[in-house]
Amino acid sequence: MPKEIMGFDAQFLKQVKSLFQETSIEELEIAEGEDVYFRVSRKKETPPASLQANTIPVMPAVVPSSPQPVSPAPTPTSPQAVSTSTTSPYDDETKYYKIKSPIVGTFYEKPSPDSAPFVKIGDIVSPDTTVAIVEAMKVMNEIKAEVKGKIVQILKADASPVQANEPLFIVEKM
């Protein structure tokens, strides 16, 4: 029988302690009931005021998890050369929906290593269709499609880390 401390599994408490020691997490709230609820609070480290004025913001590099198709560079006479827009065709929220991760964790496209993916490009999904799993703190959280439509793009590779509110799929609404 596993050892318990105040109703919690001792091994779980050791993992939480390790998490606090290895990260800048300041608070962790876990509530049970009809639904399991997690809240994590991170301490923001602010540089001294003398350094803030001279700081230049740096944007992190985004490396695609899978090769992306490369279109030829526009020539000065092509219609693409005139457009300076950086919008994606999938930014039209009336036609497309982005399924986002509700939490920080690890993205899994299939229920187990030996299984087929939940969905693939071209699949038709309904709001209650499970499209992926995001693992957070050893808990597997099912991600639902939330809309009826067709999967047109999968944005994350299997077993890759995801941030909260990060798009995982693009669905063409039906």
Q: Kindly list the structural domains of the chain, giving each domain's residue range(s) and its CATH number in brackets, ordered by start.
A: 4-44 (no CATH), 93-173 (2.40.50.100)
pLDDT value at residue 79: 46
Q: Is it the case that residue 77 has pLDDT exceeding 50?
A: no
pLDDT-based confidence at residue 26 (cuts at 50, 70, 90): low
pLDDT for 62 beyond 60? no
Amino acid identity of residue 108, one-letter, is: Y
Q: Which two tokens stand for residue 67?
A: 């090769």
Distance CA 158, CA 153 (A): 14
pLDDT at 9: 72
Q: What pLDDT is recorded for position 25?
A: 67
Using the predicted structure, report yes or no on whether residue 109 has a pLDDT greater than 60: yes
Q: Which long-range contacts does 56-65 make (Cβ < 8 Å, 24+ apart)?
A: 65/156, 65/157, 65/160
To the nearest whole number, what is the mean pLDDT of the chain?
Answer: 76
Question: What number of CA atoms fall less than 13 Å from residue 34's CA on the CB side?
Answer: 0
- Of the two residues 153 and 49, the one the predictor is more confident about is 153
